[in-house]
Chains A and B, each alone.
Chain A
């Protein structure tokens, strides 16, 4: 199994269409509770394999961070509730994966009122991201996010990135989903 190690700060320059500094800080706030840097995740791909993996569908992701980010992260828990921190941290890890493993994987966001919709415009893909601290939630959350990503108004195919920041399980489930074709729908 391959291992990749990248600094979380990479996401800032990789996605010019998003402000991601605070997501990086929140990711470090969460990861630094789980381990020393780098924080390691098992990434499981479903429905696709990134080009650098040569057909493999799992790899280890080690996420490192720099001193200034760690300093900002220390202040996060004084003002933030866990849920927004987990969600923003998941966005940061998703942004890191797309920055390094998917060519033309730059992200953008639109506002849907009660939630943000992420897009990969160059690839014509939608993206749903979510995070949890409990592995038992992964299955249900994955089904919800898969349905959401396929309900995108552009009718694009889509990715789902689900991050589990568990004390015992640090896992990322990264899946790709195709829209049902009209002829499939009829059958």
Chain B
């Protein structure tokens, strides 16, 4: 039968993980009800909390768990159309030791998002090089 983990959980990390999880499920609920603008805002908040959870997990040498939360944050940013940020997070996640099938899914997601970044940049440069920051999402 199941047994709890022997290691005492870090209360701060637990709160961050609960917050990220709650926001993800709330974003899903808002999307279910067709409230897209609110769902998008909640998804952005969830992504930020997932990144912070990953940071704390990595600092605690829980590299695989950190990678899973980076991938979760990346999934949020991809839905938000922030592909460059998605690629960065997926790259960091892929630095961890991951199961082969999971790694393959994450790599496929990264390839897809790199293609989106290139497409967006091509669009930005289509009418000559801009002299300001690219207006990428």
A 103-135 to B, binary, CB cutoff 8 A, 1 in contact else 0:
010001111110010001111110000000000
Count, chain A residues at interface, CB 8 A: 34
B 53-80 to A, binary, CB cutoff 8 A, 1 in contact else 0:
0000000000011011101100110110
Say yes or no for B94: interface residue by CB 8 A criterion: no
Say yes or no for A151: interface residue by CB 8 A criterion: yes
Which residues of chain B from 90 to 137 have a CB within 8 Å of any chain A CB? 98-99, 101-102, 105, 109
Q: Which residues of B contact A123 (CB under 8 A)?
A: 2-4
B25 to chain A, nearest CB (A): 4
B21 pairs with A108, CB closer than 8 A: yes
B21 pairs with A109, CB closer than 8 A: yes
A sample of 18 more A-B contacts (CB under 8 A), given A124-B2, A151-B101, A151-B102, is A17-B22, A18-B22, A18-B25, A19-B26, A48-B1, A80-B32, A102-B2, A104-B2, A110-B72, A111-B72, A111-B75, A112-B105, A113-B79, A121-B9, A151-B99, A153-B68, A153-B98, A157-B2
Query: Which residues of B are at the interface with A, using a C-beta cutoff of 8 A?
Result: 1-5, 9, 17-18, 21-26, 28-29, 32-34, 46, 50, 64-65, 67-69, 71-72, 75-76, 78-79, 98-99, 101-102, 105, 109
